[in-house]
Amino acid sequence: MRTLAFDGRMGAAGDMILAALLDAGADRDALDPVERALDVEYVVSTVDRNGISATGVEVVLTDAAPDGGNGDENRDHGDRAAEGHGPHRTYPEVVDIVEGMALPDAVASDALGIFEILGEAEAAVHGTDLEETHFHEVGADDAIADVVGAALLLADLDVERAVTTPLSTGGGTVTMSHGTYPVPTPAVVEIAERADWALRGGPVDAELLTPTGAAILAGVADGVEHVPSLTVAGSGYGAGAREFAEHPNVLRAMVGEREGGLRRDDITVLETNLDDAPPEVLGDLHRSLKAVGARDVSVLPVTMKKSRPGHLVKVVCKPDDADRVARRLAEETGTLGIREHGAGHRWVADRAFETVEVAIDGETYEVAVKIASDTDGTVYDVSCEFDDAAAVAEATGAPVRQVIERAERLVRE
């Protein structure tokens, strides 16, 4: 699978995404439709960020385009120093402009999807309806050029999937048209709620993740915890305007082939030995521990001191949930000690559920089926939910095995 991976440790802004895609091999000419439609110019340059040679991009009005530039003149990590270039617009006005560019269908769909994410975030922050939402910084010509330009360059790279590692937000405060806000800004937080990827603070007190950058990545990229295994065919660095003493202010993009496999999931393992827990308590641990974050619970028979029979309880959970899960395990069982093993990670399948209609004696019944696939989307297991199948079997008198076979066959076909 041809995959584009963003390294988000220094956040992202619209111009940084453009620059990273160009540096990774996208064709500069792919941006021509935007320049013609908006009377803007993408000024592309090479800059240095803490010893890294990176690409800088600035969007300028055609009648004010400089002879050259370093991408720094009017932006602060990709945001506009004032309120952007050109008029500010409502959400419907932005949609009309994008639809009037005669873009390829897939590109127009991506760009409009990104603006819908931006519009919904702005509407949520200001308590307005989407159709009444006014864009300020993100409705100006250069912000529209960032969004549509990113969609065009992604199409030019011809990737099947884009992913991003957790995106750093920075810290401190930022001054915008409405006032001064803490970082991350309210719009970025709203966008993150709709996105598949994660946020993390730092590593500097500055705005690293802008609303435009967040919306672009929310619209096109899945979240991953680490850069996936890639046979890298191209890479690039998109420069942010500001320079920081210890951190190269760049967004890295890598393009390459990714083989299908299981997804890496960071975990830790908690365990304790019990010799006096009632069976009712042991039987309820799956429910009570999963309610506070456990991913898997196992209860194994063991022989303890003085040859007494007992049980070993093993719990798989995310590292961030370990304290809460351990506390609940102690409360439920009365154990005096819980061990933690740094398992590091597990390999898990991508899971999805599909509801199928199983026909028996002229009646149809809904049954959920779990589908397991690798990161390429190749399905390697189909498994009917037993409780659903058992309910259908009880209602119809059909053998439960028959219900399971029919449901799984419907999904495979």
Quickly state the pLDDT bin for 344 (edges 50, 70, 90): low
Whether residue 313 contacts residue 339, with contact meaning beta carbons closer than 8 Å, is answered with no
- Mean pLDDT calculated for residue range 397-408: 93
DSSP string, 228-242: PP-EEEEEEEEEPSS
pLDDT digits (tens, 9 = 90+) for 306-340: 888 999 999 999 888 899 999 999 999 999 899 99
- pLDDT one-digit tens code per residue, 225-263: 888 888 999 999 999 989 998 899 999 999 998 776 666
- pLDDT one-digit tens code per residue, 376-396: 677 888 999 999 999 999 999
Give strand pairing partners of 236.
253
Please report, rounded to a whole number, the percentage of residues in the chain having pLDDT higher than 90: 64
Q: Which of these, 224, 329, 248, 338, lies nearest to 287 by C-alpha position?
A: 329
Q: What is the pTM of this model?
A: 0.64
- Cβ burial of 96 (10 Å; 0-12, 13-18, 19+) is exposed
The CB-side HSE value for 239 (13 A sphere, CA atoms) comes to 25
Q: Among candidates 30, 12, 67, which has minimal Cα distance to 45?
A: 67
Mean pLDDT of 269-279: 91
Sign of the CA dihedral running 118, 124, 127, 130: positive
When comparing pLDDT for 184 and 132, which is higher? 184
pLDDT for 215-232, tens place per residue? 999 999 999 888 888 899
Q: In the prediction, which pLDDT does 180 show?
A: 86
Please tell me the distance from the alpha carbon of residue 282 to that of residue 300, in angstroms, as a whole number.
10
Alpha-carbon span 19 to 241, nearest angstrom: 12
Residue 79 has pLDDT above 60, yes or no: no
User: What domains are defined for the chain?
Assistant: 2-257 (no CATH), 263-347 (3.30.70.1380), 350-412 (3.10.20.300)
CB atoms within 10 A of CB 395: 12
Q: Is the bond preceding residue 184 a cis peptide, omega within 30 degrees?
A: yes
Q: Is the alpha carbon torsion for 273, 278, 279, 282 positive or negative? A: negative
The mean pLDDT value for 65-86 works out to 41
Strands 379-384 and 250-257 turn out to be: unpaired
